[in-house]
Structure 1
């Protein structure tokens, strides 16, 4: 009888581990033993493994950050609605959408119902300053670049936790400076350290004085396990800047668009990276013939399990995109052009959700899926009222991972 009971428990665990987090959160209330099982570290890891590696899944989850109006009457006053630092007339949503991996070419039922999580204040104070700074294993990092607030969020279980304030001390004031020192959060990125099996947020900070002295930058790391910030070494004189659909975490490396200064008075566009395991920064070149002075704009994405850079002429309509694949086979990171996409009428690319399907944002803020082969477009039930460049998207892995303690 004991063996039968043990077998039943194992079968229940095996069955439950294959269910999505949304269902499991409801099943926690059925009985105490289920709640204990579903919240156990081993079960959470098993459920995550299924989400990551299920090659037979019929859907792919996509996460979007977008702004919607509460009342359609405000469509003629969008600028003021977005500028107001409150949520009276708008919502900023983190939205999950399941796209069906359709094998028979049927355009019907291409998507399921959108599941929305409202981003609360103060993170949602301004739609233009809220960014998704990385996704890993169902957890995303939300950053308000104006308020310098940072939060972990797991949309699948509707959980959001603010990180504690950084204890990083400001440097001493320069003796000739009467204005004090201002902080400028240069870059924020979230990812996974496979060596220590920890989730981390890295942040670089510039310090600027009132008389334009620029002091040495500092960097710090927050680990989910320790729930604390600590300072780390940074030697790079580099400035990261936000670019639509560029920042990316992939296989323990975080990527930003940046400018470096090889000689005084000269700037050079590059890609700035952070290795989550080694906690080191590196500067990478961009492909030749993609300089912004030539009107070329760039985006980063993951395609066929590789980092790719997507480039196009920014003022073209319709646009044609070149796909450059990162190559380090000879020990030196470089880029190889793989293919061209388009022409297609759109504003920006978002993310590859299949090897032959690319999500794009149109000028009206709507999102479509573009098939690289037959060049067909499928419209999705996702729309944002902000400028299309402020709509973010990532391929999402559902999980039960909780952020633990923090400011709710």
Structure 2
């Protein structure tokens, strides 16, 4: 769930510390039948625009060159994103769902409608390209951008607000043939870069698998290889991003249960997160994020459900 984002280019700019925006010129309207009518103060106009949804801002870019410059300003875009993301009424947040039957399609729904309306309205949303004919998966969403993978091979970064997308360079063939794929889509705040992580199990001897992993950087527009990771079977496809690391569930050969593995995007090293004691009995669990903390949702045969939250990353006792 992400707030949608405006922009004049295909992809949003890097985040920077906010500065004063370029001010709109002071103007007034004069007509032979009316006295001079003053306009709103420039600062007030800026604050009003910052509270509007993306669709309105896209229309208002054509009002004047000054408005186009303001709305396209990187600082304005970043501030608008921040205000939208922190909107307590969730009026700028939306859910997106993908379906594969009877054909691959997308549904778009307002988060505020789900929360406050008795019946939420879901709208059809077209894929960014007509080339989609095979399996499509949503890798993740960050700052209003959505990453899609087609047939486990072709990746797109899509901004549905401005209806533009970027097709990423292809991975090498060796990465695109395997089992139990894993993905991740994140924004690296340290380097101001959007990154895509893709990994696949390559079958080895017996029940042993090797995860081949690559990472794409939007800044360099290229893929680089990460250190291979020996594993059993990946339990989750979509990575959970917490504390600068992507996390997946993973089962290791000759060991019972599941582990939480992670890859640090800064130093590209693999690690493991210690888990709490869930109790006895069979249960299924799902990785997630609650606020900014890593979480685990455990479901005990549909009878009982617990939510575990890691309040201090790296400290087992803080679960």
Cα 1:169/1:148, change in 2 over 3 Å: closer
Matched residues in 2 for 1:214 and 1:260: separation? Answer: 8
User: Is the 2:139–2:185 Cα contact (8 Å) retained in structure 1?
Assistant: yes
Matched residues in 1 for 2:41 and 2:219: separation? Answer: 33
Note the C-alpha offset of 1:183. 4.0
Matches within 5 A, 1:324-343: 324-328=308-312, 331-333=314-316, 336=319
SS in 2 for 1:90: coil
Aligned counterpart for 1:309 among listed residues 296, 314, 319: 296
Task: Tell me whether 220-229 or 248-257 shows the greater mean CA deviation.
Answer: 248-257
SS in 2 for 1:157: coil
The corresponding residue for 2:33 is: none
SS in 2 for 1:272: strand
Note the C-alpha offset of 1:100. 5.6
Task: Tell me whether 231-240 or 156-165 shows the greater mean CA deviation.
Answer: 231-240
The corresponding residue for 1:50 is: 83
Cα 1:206/1:121, change in 2 over 3 Å: farther
SS in 2 for 1:59: coil
Cα 1:219/1:184, change in 2 over 3 Å: same
User: Is the 1:58–1:101 Cα contact (8 Å) retained in structure 2?
Assistant: no
Matched residues in 1 for 2:131 and 2:282: separation? Answer: 36
SS in 1 for 2:161: helix
The corresponding residue for 1:118 is: 126
Note the C-alpha offset of 1:16. 1.6
Note the C-alpha offset of 1:113. 4.4
Note the C-alpha offset of 1:115. 4.2
Aligned counterpart for 2:305 among listed residues 284, 308, 321: 321
Cα 1:206/1:117, change in 2 over 3 Å: same
Aligned counterpart for 2:269 among listed residues 236, 261, 280: 280
Aligned counterpart for 1:67 among listed residues 93, 99, 111: 99
Cα 1:66/1:299, change in 2 over 3 Å: same
User: Is the 1:96–1:116 Cα contact (8 Å) retained in structure 2?
Assistant: no
Note the C-alpha offset of 1:185. 6.6
Aligned counterpart for 1:189 among listed residues 180, 184, 189: 184
Contiguous gaps of at least 5 residues in structure 2: 1-22, 28-39
1:96 aligns with 2:109: yes
Q: State the aligned residue count.
A: 284
The corresponding residue for 1:132 is: 138
The corresponding residue for 1:372 is: none
Contiguous gaps of at least 5 residues in structure 1: 69-81, 83-88, 172-180, 337-408
Matched residues in 2 for 1:213 and 1:50: separation? Answer: 49
Higher strand share: 1
Matches within 5 A, 1:357-372: none
Note the C-alpha offset of 1:123. 4.5
User: Is the 1:207–1:214 Cα contact (8 Å) retained in structure 2?
Assistant: no
Cα 1:121/1:185, change in 2 over 3 Å: farther
Cα 1:325/1:9, change in 2 over 3 Å: same
The corresponding residue for 1:220 is: 214
User: Is the 1:192–1:276 Cα contact (8 Å) retained in structure 2?
Assistant: no
Aligned counterpart for 2:147 among listed residues 132, 136, 141: 141
Deviations 1:64-105 (A, max 9, x none): 31328xxxxxxxxxxxxx3xxxxxx53511413232697xxx
Matched residues in 1 for 2:282 and 2:113: separation? Answer: 36
Higher relative contact order (CA 8 A, sep 6+): 1
